Amino acid sequence: MSTDRLRARIVLAFLGFLAAFSLGAIAQAQAANDACKGGKVKYYRNPMGAPDTSPVPKKDSMGMDYIPVCTDDNPADPAPAAGTVKISLDKVQRLGVRSAAVEERALSRTVRAFATLQFDERKQYVVAPKFGGWIEKLLVNATGDPVRRGQTLFEVYSPELNVLQQEYLVARGVQGRQEVADNRLRNLDYPPAAFDKLRRGEAPRIIDIPSPVNGTVVEKKAIEGARFQPGDVLFRVVDTSTMWVMADVYEQDLAFVKVGDSARITINAWPDRPMTGKVAYIYPSVGAKSRTARLRIEVANPDGLLRADMAATVEIASPIGKAVAVPESAVIDSGLRQVVLVERGQGLYEPRRVELGAHAGGYVQVRAGLAAGERVVTSATFLIDAESNLRAALTAFTAGDGQ
C-alpha cells in the first residue's frame, strides 16, 4: 500500500470519528433540551453536587451524566414581576409546596404556667398571749393537729392574771372601780370562759387559752412546763378552707391575662381531678432573673386535700377576638422582619413583609400586610428559599428599608 493511500484512509477515519462524535453530542444536547420541555440548556452541573459545571454534556469520574440546568426561553411564559419569585411547576410538586387561604379567625390563646399552693394569708392566726406565765398543760401538742374555734390549746398559770382577778373581785359593786378592773382584763385578751367564772365570784388559778379559729396547727412553739413572755408566739393556726394558687406567668404572656379570668388548675398529686378558679390578683412586680410575674388564684378546699407547697399547672384561656391569621409555618422570621410567601399562581410567589400579633393555637395574628382571601405558602417555604435564591429577591424587596 502506497503512502498516499494510507494517508487518505487515516483522514477518512478521523472525519468519521468527528462526525460520530458531533452526532452524539447533538443527540445528547437534543435529549437535554427535551428534558427542559421546550426550553434550552443553560449549562450542565455535576450530578454529585460538586462546584463544577460544563457548557456541553459530559460524564463525571464515576461515569454519571452531568445534569442539564434549564433556562426559560419560552416566549409564552411571562417574566416574573419585580419582587416575585418563579418556581417551575414540576419543582413545586417535587418540593411538596402547600398553601392555605388567609382567613379571619376567632383566636384564643391559652396561657400555661407552673404554680404552687400556699395558705390564704388572710386566714392565718397566731396565739401570742399579752401576759406572761407558765404552760401548765398542753392539750394540742403536735403540728398538723386540726382545731376548732374555742377549743382549749393549753392551760396557763399567770401571776399577773391572778392579781387582776383579785382586783376585779374586790372592785365588784364599786362604781368606777369594777369598770377599770374589767377593762384591764379585756385589754389582755382575758378569755370569755374565764370571765364567766369571774362574774360568778370564782377566781381560777389556771386559765384555759382557746383557739381563735377553726383550722390546722402549722407551727407550735409551746412546750409543757415552759415559761413564756408577753407577745411570744406559741401557736400558728391556719384556716385551710380556702387555698391560694400562686402561678408564675412569663412576662410576654401578661398581656393576655387579667383579673377575673377563669383558670383551670391541675394538681400534680391528683391529675384526674382538675379544679377551677378565678384570677384574683396580679402582683405588681416581675422577677429580675425569672422574668415571670405572679398571679393569685383562690380555690376552695372543703375536704382539706390541698396542702401548702403542692405543685400544680394552671391554664388560663384568653380570647383575643376575630383577626386575620395565618398558620405559624407560613412565616419566615429573620429576627428583624417577618415575611410570608403569597401565592400568585403558575409558580409565582411574592415575598411580602407582614406585621404580626399574637400566637394562638398554631396560628399567628397578622396586623398588617395581608388581606383575607389571599393564599400563602404553609410548607416548603425554606425549600423554596434554597431552590429559587429567595434571599436575593428579599434583598431587592427590602432595599429601601433603613439600616
Quote the CA–CA distance of 102 and 323 in Å, as a whole number. 10
Taking residues 309-317, what's their average pLDDT? 93
Question: Please, are residues 95 and 380 in contact by the beta-carbon 8 Å criterion?
Answer: yes
Among 365, 341, 364, residue whose Cα is nearest residue 353: 341
Contacts for 362 with CB less than 8 Å, ≥ 6 apart: 327, 328
Taking residues 75-94, what's their average pLDDT? 58
Chain centroid to CA 219: 36
Pick the range with the lowest mean pLDDT from 76-85, 86-95, 98-107, 324-333: 76-85
pLDDT in tens, 64-75: 777 777 765 444
Quote the CA–CA distance of 303 and 240 in Å, as a whole number. 9
pTM over 0.85: no
Quote the CA–CA distance of 125 and 192 in Å, as a whole number. 18
Taking residues 332-340, what's their average pLDDT? 78
- pLDDT, residue 21, reads 46
Alpha helices in 71-229 (DSSP H): 89-95, 159-171, 177-187, 192-199
Question: Please, are residues 329 and 99 in contact by the beta-carbon 8 Å criterion?
Answer: no
Which has more pLDDT, 60 or 388?
60
Of 24-33, 72-81, 182-191, the range with the highest mean pLDDT is 182-191
Among 365, 97, 131, 346, residue whose Cα is nearest residue 234: 131
94, pLDDT greater than 50: yes
Among 80, 85, 79, residue whose Cα is nearest residue 395: 85
Could you identify the residue written with the cell 382571601?
A: 373
Question: Model confidence at 77, in pLDDT bands (50, 70, 90)?
Answer: very low
In this structure, the chain runs to a length of 403
Question: Model confidence at 403, in pLDDT bands (50, 70, 90)?
Answer: very low
Contacts for 178 with CB less than 8 Å, ≥ 6 apart: 168, 171, 172
397, pLDDT greater than 60: no
Strand partners, 360: 363
Please say whether the dihedral angle defined by the alpha carbons of residues 126, 121, 290 and 270, taken in this order, is positive or negative: positive
- pLDDT, residue 76, reads 43
For 342, the 3-state DSSP assignment is strand
pLDDT in tens, 167-212: 888 888 777 788 888 889 999 989 988 888 888 888 889 999 999 9
Q: What is the largest CA-CA distance in the chain?
A: 167
Question: Please, are residues 98 and 79 in contact by the beta-carbon 8 Å criterion?
Answer: no
Interhelix angle 159-171/192-199, nearest 10 degrees = 40
90, pLDDT greater than 70: no
Average pLDDT, the chain: 80
Question: Please, are residues 82 and 201 in contact by the beta-carbon 8 Å criterion?
Answer: no
2, pLDDT greater than 70: no
Taking residues 254-276, what's their average pLDDT? 91
Question: Model confidence at 6, in pLDDT bands (50, 70, 90)?
Answer: low
Name all domains of the chain by residue range, CATH numbers in brackets.
3-71 (no CATH), 85-106+322-397 (2.40.420.20), 110-120+240-320 (2.40.30.170), 125-237 (2.40.50.100)
- pLDDT, residue 35, reads 55
> What phi and psi values does residue 20 have, to the nearest 5 degrees?
-65, -40
Query: 96: buried, middle or exposed (CB in 10 Å: 19+, 13-18, 0-12)?
Result: exposed
- pLDDT, residue 73, reads 42
247, pLDDT greater than 50: yes
Contacts for 197 with CB less than 8 Å, ≥ 6 apart: 203, 204
Query: Letter for the amino acid at 155?
Result: E
Among 19, 75, 66, residue whose Cα is nearest residue 47: 66
